[in-house]
Amino acid sequence: MATGWAKDGAVQEQIDASIEDAVMRARAALTRGASATECDDCGEPIPQARRDALPGVRRCIACQSAAEKAAPPASTMNRRASKDSLLR
């Protein structure tokens, strides 16, 4: 495929970099350590099944859902651009 100023394989490199960024974001969001027995936000007990399934969990399901909805969406555009895309 002719890509102008971009080198061969540049599109695949951008795809791979986007996937790598998404994996790193997901790994950073994983909880670690001991789970709380009560929700940090509302104080309700966190069920044992949730604590077993997610080590390091700090919120009940309702509070976690609300926090995820309030969080800004992650950018799906990779910031590493080729020369060709910068010239457009």
Q: Are 49 and 57 in contact (CB under 8 A)?
A: no
Q: Tell me the whole-structure pTM to 2 decimals.
A: 0.55
What ranges do the domains of the chain cover?
Answer: 30-70
- Measured CA to CA in angstroms, residue 3 lies from 10, 37, 57 at distances of 9, 55, 46
How much is the pLDDT for 31? 77
How much is the pLDDT for 78? 56
Three-class secondary structure of residue 45 per DSSP? strand
Condensed to tens digits (0 to 9), the pLDDT of residues 64-81 reads 999 989 987 766 665 555
Condensed to tens digits (0 to 9), the pLDDT of residues 13-62 reads 888 988 999 899 888 877 788 899 999 999 999 999 999 998 899 999 99
Structure tokens at 5: 């100023």
